[in-house]
Amino acid sequence: MLSLAPVDRPTLDPKNVEPTTFESYSQKMREFFDQFAKVRQSWRPAGYHDLVQQYYQFYITPGAKILEIGCGQGQLLAGLQPSVGVGIDISPEMIARAKEMHAGQDHLEFHCQPAESLSLADQDFDYIILSDTLSYVYDIEMVLRQVKRYCRPNTRIITNFYSRLWQPILSTLEWLGLKYPQPLLNWVTPADVKNLLEVTGFEVVQYDLRMLLPAHVPVVGNLLNRFLGSLPGIRHFCLTNWFVARVPSPLPADVGVSVICPCRNEAGNIQSIVDRFPDFGIPAELVFVEGNSKDGTLDECHRVAQATAEKEISVYQQTGKGKGDAVRLGFDKARYDILVILDADMTVPPEDLPRFVKVLREGRGEFINGSRLVYAMEGEAMRFLNLLGNKFFSVLISYLLGQSLKDTLCGTKVLTRENYRRLVRQRSYFGDFDPFGDFDLLFGAAKLSLRIVDFPIRYRARTYGETQISRFTHGWMLLKMCGFAMLKLRCR
C-alpha cells in the first residue's frame, strides 16, 4: 500500500466522488480513474499487488477462463495466465493502457464498462474475480446480479476487499502523502459481503483473511504474512478479507452412481453389502477393490458378483497398498458420474447412501462428507480415545480447510467424477502424502474451493473382522499430515 514516489496529488478530490445518482457517480469515478491511470505505475505498491496475485494463484490454476471486474491495467489478469481472460473497467484510460500493455496477447481482451451494466458476449467463466472492486462500485448487489449471468455450476466468484479495521491506517497514509488518495466509498464488512452474496443467489464456500504486512520486507514480511497472519486471533488484524462463492446448481437428471467399496480381510461382509445395496432411483454400480486379503475376500467378491447378475458389480484387485490406492483405482474404473466411497466394514449402513447422493444431486454441496458424531452410536462402534481423536482432528482440519466439518475421518464421501478429475489434475500441489485417501480428497476439495457438506449417519459396530486402524501409529501419521496441510493451505 505504500509509495514514497514524489508525484502529484489528484486534482479531482476523491472525497467529492459521492454516491448521488448512478450516472453522476459513474462519471466522477471515470474521471478520477482516468487521471489515476496516468500515474498508476508510480503509485503501484509492488509488495501489496504481488501478494494479491500470489493469493489468487492459490485458487486459480493456469489455463482457466477468467473474468475480472475492475481490472485496471490488467496486470493481475495477465499474471494469472488464463486461457481466456476478459477484463472490465469503468475507466477508458485504464482500458486503453491495458490494451497497450498487453498488446499481442490474443487470449486477453479488455472492455470499458461499468460493472453495474455489464454486457458481454454469451459466455461463461471458470472464475470471476473482483479484486479491490467492491469498495468502489455504486451498487454491489447490482454488480453481483450482473456477474451471476456468466456463471456455470463450477464457476467460483472470488473477491478481496480492505478490512474496516484498517480504515484509519489507510486514511493516515493518504494524509501523510504515502498513499495515493482514492474514493473508497464502501467500507463493507465481511458480514455485509456475505449477506449480499446470499441475497443475490450465491453461496459462500470459503472466507479468509490475509496480509498483515502489505509491503516487501525481507524475512519479516514472510514471517508475518505466511505464518503469524495465518494463526487464529492474529489473522483478524490482516488487511484483506477474501470470499469464495458459487451458485448452487442441481446435477443433471441423467446421472448414475458408482459405489466404490475398498475391502481387505472383509470376506464375511461382502454378501451382506450386495444384499443391502440400495435402489438409488438412477443407474448404479458396485465396485469392489480388494487389497490382497488373507481371508479369501477376493474369491468371495467374485463369487457374489457372479451370483448376482441382476446388479452391476465389478471386482478389481489393487497392486498398491492402502485404502487411498484402492479408492483411486475404483474411481478410475467407475462408469458413472457420481462417485461414492463405502467402507466394507459395514459401520455405515449401505441403505444411507441414497440420502448422501440426494444432497449432491440437489446441489446442496459438492463434496458430501459423512459425520458419525451427530447421532448416538451403536454399542462399541467407536472407543473413547478414538472419539476424542476424531473430535480433535475435526476442529484442526476445519481450521485448515476454512470450512466447518464435524467428522473428517468418516470413510463415506461423495463427489462427482468431474470434480474428482479436477482434483487429480492439481494433486501435485500436495503430492502423494496420504495412504488413507480421506485427507487427499478433503484437502484437494478445499484447494478447489468445493462446497464441503457434512451429512450425519448412524455409526454401527463392526460385526465381522477387526479394525485395521492403529490409534496411536495412525494418529501420529494424521497429525503429521495436518502439519503438512498447514504449510500448503494456511501458511502459503
Long-range contact pairs involving 295-300 (C-beta distance under 8 Å, separation at least 24): 295/265, 295/266, 295/267, 295/268, 295/465, 296/267, 297/263, 297/264, 297/265, 297/266, 297/267, 297/270, 299/267, 300/267, 300/270, 300/271
Q: Which residue has the cell 496480509?
A: 211
pLDDT at 103 over 90: yes
* pLDDT score of 173: 84
State the pLDDT at residue 306. 96
Q: How confident is the model at residue 475 (pLDDT cuts 50, 70, 90)?
A: low
DSSP annotation string for 150-186:
T--TT-EEEEEEE-GGGHHHHHHHHHTTSS-------
pLDDT per residue over 211-239, tens digit each?
999 988 888 988 999 999 999 889 999 99
Give me the torsion for CA of 380, 382, 388, 392, rounded to 10°.
-170
CA distance 22 to 344: 61
- More confident call, 231 vs 15: 231
Q: Which of 259, 231, 203, 258 is nearest to 450 (CA)?
A: 203
Residue 147: pLDDT band by 50, 70, 90 thresholds?
very high
Quick one: pLDDT at residue 149? 95
Residues written for the chain: 492
Report residue 1's pLDDT band, with 50, 70 and 90 as the boundaries. Answer: very low
With vertex at residue 180, the alpha carbon angle to CA 179 and CA 184, rounded to the nearest 5 degrees, is 100
With 50 as the cut, is the pLDDT of residue 97 above it? Answer: yes
Domain boundaries, the chain: 14-246, 257-490
Selected residue with higher pLDDT from 239 and 1: 239
Cα 25 from Cα 115, distance rounded (Å): 13
Give the per-residue pLDDT at 276: 95
Grade residue 383 by pLDDT with cuts at 50, 70 and 90: low
What mean pLDDT is reported for the chain?
87
Range 10-20 burial, b when 16+ CB lie within 10 A, else e:
bebebeebeee
Asked if pLDDT for residue 375 goes beyond 90, the answer is no
CA distance 91 to 34: 6
Per-residue pLDDT for 8 more than 90?
no
Residue 129 has pLDDT above 90, yes or no: yes
pLDDT (average), residues 256-279: 95
In this structure, is the dihedral angle defined by the CA atoms of residues 168, 169, 170 and 173, taken in order, positive or negative? positive
When pLDDT is cut at 50, 70 and 90, the band that residue 329 belongs to is very high
Average pLDDT (43-54) is 87
Grid coordinates of 295: 481371508
User: Stretch 245-257: mean pLDDT, rounded?
Assistant: 95
CA–CA gap between residue 447 and residue 54 (Å, rounded): 14
Residue 271's pLDDT is what?
96
* Euclidean distance between CA atoms 243 and 359, whole angstroms: 23
Between residues 168 and 82, the one the model is more confident about: 82
pLDDT at 384 over 80: no
Placement of cell 457372479 in the chain: 306
Beta strands across the sheet bearing 257-263: 312-317, 284-290, 257-263, 338-341, 413-416, 367-371, 452-456
Q: Is 421 exposed, middle or buried (0-12, 13-18, 19+ CB in 10 A)?
A: exposed
**Pairwise CA distance, residues 313 & 421, whole Å:** 23
Q: How far apart are CA 220 and CA 226, in angstroms?
A: 10
Mean pLDDT of the region 285-290 = 98
User: What single DSSP character describes residue 460?
Assistant: P
- Whether 65 has a pLDDT exceeding 60, the answer reads yes
The predicted pLDDT at position 46 comes to: 77
CA distances (Å), origin 318, targets 41, 456, 464: 57, 30, 22
Return d(Cα 176, Cα 174) in angstroms, integer.
Answer: 5
pLDDT on residue 7: 44
| pLDDT of the residue at 2 | 39
Q: Which CATH class is domain 257-490?
A: alpha beta
- The fold of 14-246 is Rossmann fold (3.40.50)
pLDDT at residue 485, as a whole number = 80
**Cα–Cα distance, 229 to 235 (Å, whole number):** 5
The predicted pLDDT at position 6 comes to: 42
Which pLDDT does position 5 carry in this prediction? 41
For 10-30, what is the mean pLDDT? 73
Span 54-71, mean pLDDT?
A: 96
Q: What percent of the chain has pLDDT over 90?
A: 61
pTM, rounded to two decimals: 0.89
Cβ(418)–Cβ(154) below 8 Å: yes
